[in-house]
Amino acid sequence: MVLELSYVNRPDMPKWPTNPEENYEGNGRIAQGSPSNASSVYHHLHTGTHVDAPWHFDDHGRTIEQIPIEDFYYTHPLVLTVRKSRGERIRREDLELYEEQLKEADIVLLYTGHSELREKDPAAFIDDFPCVDPKAALYLREEFPLLKAVAMDSISFDSAVTGDAEGYPSHHALLEVSEKTPQRTLLLFEDVNLRVLLGVKNILAICAFPVRFAGLEAAPVAMVAITGEEEAEC
């Protein structure tokens, strides 16, 4: 069975508060006499299900097309339910409970439960959502060499309330290369629909392939889980 983890992009989808509005433009419509339907899209790369590359927070970091395509394919995924309420952070001690499982993972997917608000209360979904404490981010990066990526069901790894004042420390902890953090960076997937994976026991692979625009810091992704479970018959 294939389960879709990326959300369908829509002009009115929830977004980081300062992101520009999405805009869909019809360049040709059959109903208006054009020979075909054709469209252009203005899409902000950090709205909807997307992946952050290192250049997002490191001016010397790799841009999205410089990352090997195999880094977006995962065969040892680990889904963790770490329920957090409004304004709470996933902390190192939350993750240490799963240390042995994390040692084998190439992607960890963090389900806080906050995404349950995405459809029914979009304003609450983008307001003071759960995020990741920078010490937890460094723990994932420094202690688990097989790990290539982290995904979560909030719209950002840093807080919309305090992130700007704090300098977005969790993004820096995961993406920036420095003397303090010289080892490989991790990819960040944000606004991922992890609810569909709850209760799924046999996840064979996660595919999260980006639409890559050369020289840029992020990309929308088509993210799916391939499971060993059979699709229910209608």
Convert the pLDDT of each residue in 168-211 to its tens digit.
Answer: 999 999 999 888 778 889 999 999 999 999 999 899 999 999 99
> What would the pLDDT profile of 86-111 be if each residue is shown by its tens digit?
999 999 999 999 999 999 999 999 99
Fold that domain 2-7+49-227 belongs to in CATH: Glucose Oxidase; domain 1 (3.50.30)
- Split at pLDDT 50, 70, 90, the class of 24 is very high
- Cβ(115)–Cβ(82) under 8 Å? no
If one counts every other C-beta atom within 10 angstroms of the C-beta of residue 120, the result is 8
Angstrom distance (rounded) from CA 57 to CA 35: 44
Cα separation, 186 vs 53, in Å, equals: 8
pTM: 0.95
